[in-house]
Amino acid sequence: MPVFSTANWTMLRRVSPRLVGYAVALTHDPDLAGDLVQDAIVRAVESRNVPADERAFRAWITRILRNLWIDRCRARRRRADRAEAPAGEVADFPAGFRSEDLILNRIVVREAFGRLSASHREILALIDILGFSYGEAAELLGVRPGTVMSRVSRARRDLLRRLSDEGVVPFPAAARRMP
Amino acid sequence: MTQKPVSMEELSAYVDGELAPGQAARIARIAASDPETARRVAILRSLRAGVAAIGEETARVDVEAIRGRMVRRRNARWLGAATAAAAVLALGLGLAGWQSMTPASPERGAAAGGVVSGDVARMVAAHDAWVAGAAPPAAAPPPDRLSALIGATGLRLVRSGRLPLADGRAAGQTDYLGAHGCRLSLFRAEDAAPRPARERLVVEIEGDLRLASWSAGRDYHLVSRGMDVPRFATIASALMAATRREGGDEGEPLALLSGAHRPCLG
C-alpha cells in the first residue's frame, strides 16, 4: 500500500521546480519535461519505500525521473545526444567575457544550454538546478566524484564556448562595439 | 613569484563549494589578488545562476493538481477492489446479498463530526478512544471463535469492553491490534435486533474511517481507521458469514481471512 505522506507531498512541492529544470535539461522540451515530472510523481507516490530525509527524497525522486527518461529513450530507440565539443579546442574563458553579460542574458544562456550535449545538460542540471553535491551526482550516475568534477568542468567550458563562438554571449558588449 | 594558474576544473569545483578547505582558501587568495581569476570566478557564478533559473523559466508542474487527481484515482481503485473482493467472498460463501461499498450514507453522515451519527457514532468514538489510549483499561477476554477468525488475519485480541447504546441496550466491544499498527474494533449488540435482520453487509468509507455493519440475529459493527479497504471488506464479509453460521464449518472464511494480511495506512 502506498505510504506517501503529507510530509512527502510537502517535500515534493519544494523540489518540484528544480525537478522540472532537470527534466527540461534531459528532454530539451518543456512539454515533455512536464509529462516526465508528472509521471515521476505518480511513480513516487505509488512507491512503498519513500525516504523520510529530504536530501534522500530529492535524490530518490530524481533517480525515478531519470530512469523513466532512460526507459523512454530506449523504447523509442532515440538518440538525443549530440556530439560533444573536443576539450582541446575550447578556450576556457573567452576574452571580453563578463559575468554581467550572463546576468543580462538569461535567455541566451538557456538557448546555449539547450545546444549542449545531453550528458552536459544533465550534469549541469544535477549540480546547478537540483543543487546536488558531486558525491550525490556521482551516486546517481554511477561514477566517481572525480568524474563528476571533470564533467561539470567540461560542460561549463562547452557552455562558455557556445556562448562566445556562436556570438550570443556578450549581447550588450557586442552592441556597444557596433559603430 | 609566479603563482600556479588555477585550472578550469578547480575553479568550477570552487564555485560549487566542492574543494577541500585548503584548496578553496588558496583560490580565494589568488582571486583576491588577481583580477583575471576574479573575473573567471564571477563568470562561473553567473553561469551557474543562469543555468539554475532554466527550469523555473521554461516549465511548471502543478503538484497540487497531480495530488488531487491521484487521490481521486486511488479512492476509485479502492472502491472497485473492495467491492470486487467482498463480492467474490460473498459469492463464495453463498451469502444472501452484498451491498456495494458506499461513502457514509446521508442520513448518517451529517452528525458526529460529519462522519456517522447515533449508536454508530458512539462506536466510532469508542474505537478512537481506544486507539488514542483514552479508553478504560480492560483485560483481554479468552479468545472466542470470532477472535480466532480475526486472528487469522494477523490481528490479536487485546481488549474488551461494554458500550451503552441510546435505546438502553449495550454492545460488547472487542479490540484487535495488528503487528504493524492496524487496529480494529468489533461491536456486538448484546440483545437481538428489534427489527428484521439486515440482509446485506454495508461497508462504508469516509476518509480514513472504515465501517461495516450487518445483522445475524443481533447487530454487528466493525470499525477501523486507515486499514487497507479490500482487507477490511474481506474481514467484514468473513465475519458476517461466520456469525450467520453459528456452529458451522468455518474453514472457508478462515481460508479467505488468512490471505487478508495488508498493512494499515499512515
Q: Is B56 on the interface with A (CB under 8 A)?
A: yes
Both A136 and A103 in a single domain? yes
Q: By three-state DSSP, how is residue B29 classified?
A: helix
Q: Which is higher by pLDDT, A108 or B43?
A: B43
Q: What is the CATH number of the domain that holds A111?
A: 1.10.10.10
Residue B120 CB partners (closer than 8 Å, separation 6+) = B108, B211, B213, B221
In a domain, A80, yes or no: no
Both A127 and A69 in a single domain? no
- CA–CA min distance A24, chain B (Å): 6
Both A163 and A136 in a single domain? yes
Query: What integer is the mean pLDDT of A67-84?
Result: 70
Residue A52 has pLDDT above 60, yes or no: yes
Using the 3D structure, point to which of A75, A105, A125 is the last residue of a domain. A75
- Distance (Å, rounded) from C-alpha B125 to C-alpha B137? 16
pLDDT at A173: 36
What's the fold here for domain B81-258? Phosphorylase Kinase; domain 1 (3.30.200)
Query: What integer is the mean pLDDT of B108-113?
Result: 36
Residue A7 has pLDDT above 80, yes or no: yes
Q: Which among B39, B48, B63 is the nearest to A128, CB-wise?
A: B48
Q: Which is higher by pLDDT, B197 or A161?
A: A161
pLDDT at A65: 94
Dihedral angle sign, alpha carbons of residues B179, B204, B169, B125 = positive
Residue B229 CB partners (closer than 8 Å, separation 6+) = B78, B79, B81, B82, B101, B205, B210
Which of B100, B8, B57 has the alpha carbon at shortest distance from A114?
B57
Residue A69 has pLDDT above 70, yes or no: yes
C-alpha cell at B194: 428489534
Q: Which among A3, A113, A127 is the nearest to B16, CB-wise?
A: A127
- Distance (Å, rounded) from C-alpha B17 to C-alpha B210? 52
pLDDT at B238: 79
Distances (CA, A) of A159 to A119, B10, B56, B204: 12, 17, 19, 59
Domain ranges of chain B: 8-58, 81-258
Q: Which among B18, B51, B58 is the nearest to A128, CB-wise?
A: B51
pLDDT at A166: 55
Both A26 and A96 in a single domain? no
In a domain, A1, yes or no: no
Residue A171 has pLDDT above 50, yes or no: no
Both A102 and A150 in a single domain? yes
pLDDT at A170: 42
**What mean pLDDT, rounded, does chain B reach?**
74
Instruction: Find out whether A68 and A46 touch, Cβ atoms under 8 Å.
Output: no
| Residue carrying C-alpha cell 472457508 | B252
Residue B149: band (very low, low, confident or very high) from pLDDT cuts 50, 70, 90: confident
Instruction: Find out whether A179 and A124 touch, Cβ atoms under 8 Å.
Output: no
- Distance (Å, rounded) from C-alpha B37 to C-alpha B8? 10
Query: Residues B52-107: pLDDT tens digits?
Result: 887 666 666 777 777 777 766 666 665 566 566 555 554 444 443 444 444 444 33
Instruction: Find out whether B62 and A119 touch, Cβ atoms under 8 Å.
Output: no
In a domain, A82, yes or no: no
Using the 3D structure, point to which of A75, A98, A131 is the last residue of a domain. A75
Residue B28: band (very low, low, confident or very high) from pLDDT cuts 50, 70, 90: very high
How many domains, in total, are found in chain A? 2
Number of residue pairs across A and B with CB atoms under 8 Å?
A: 137
Q: By three-state DSSP, how is residue B15 classified?
A: helix
Q: Is A25 on the interface with B (CB under 8 A)?
A: yes
Distances (CA, A) of A96 to A100, A172, B46: 11, 11, 15
Both A47 and A97 in a single domain? no
Instruction: Find out whether B153 and B239 touch, Cβ atoms under 8 Å.
Output: no
Using the 3D structure, point to which of A75, A98, A120 is the last residue of a domain. A75
- Determine the structural domain holding residue A12 and report its residue range: 6-75
In chain A, residues with a C-beta closer than 8 Å to the C-beta of B70 are: 42, 45
